[in-house]
Amino acid sequence: MKQLTAVIQPFRLDDVRDALNDINIHGMTVSEVKGFSRQKGHTELYRGAEYMIDFLPKIQLDIVLTDEMVEPAIEAICGAAKSGRIGDGKIFVKPIEHVIRIRTGEIDESAV
C-alpha cells in the first residue's frame, strides 16, 4: 500500500476529485495548506502599505491506495490539475505499513 500526497491549486480540487471518482477512488483527506516552491510569492498592497505574501494557498490531498491504484491515481490527478503554468503542484508517494479501520477492525487493503 502507498500514501499519495498531492499538493494542488485550490481551484482544481473539484476537477481532481471528479477524476479520482471516475477511477473508483472515493476516500481522501483534504487540507488547506500554504506553501511555495518555484512559484515564490507576490507583493500586495493593503491600506497603502506593501506586503510580501510568501506562502500561497494550496490544497493537500492525502490518499491511501493499493499498489495497483497508484499509477492510475497519479495520471488522474495530473490530468485534472495540470494547467502548464508554474504552481500546478506536486505529488509524493510514500509506503504505508499498516492500515486499520477503527469501526470494523478491518486491516490493511480491506481497510482502504
Per-residue pLDDT of 25-52, as tens digits, reads 999 999 999 887 766 666 666 677 776 6
**Beta-carbon contacts of residue 102 (< 8 Å; ≥ 6 apart):** none
Give all domains of the chain, ordered by start, each with its CATH number. Answer: 2-110 (3.30.70.120)
Model confidence pTM above 0.85 = no
Regions of the chain short of the pLDDT cut 50: none
Beta 2-8 vs 56-65: how paired, if at all?
A: antiparallel
- Where would I find the beta strands (DSSP E) of 1-112? 2-8, 29-35, 42-46, 49-53, 56-65, 89-95
Looking at the DSSP assignment, which residues form a beta bridge with residue 57? Answer: 34
Cα separations in angstroms, 3 against 11, 41, 65: 23, 28, 6
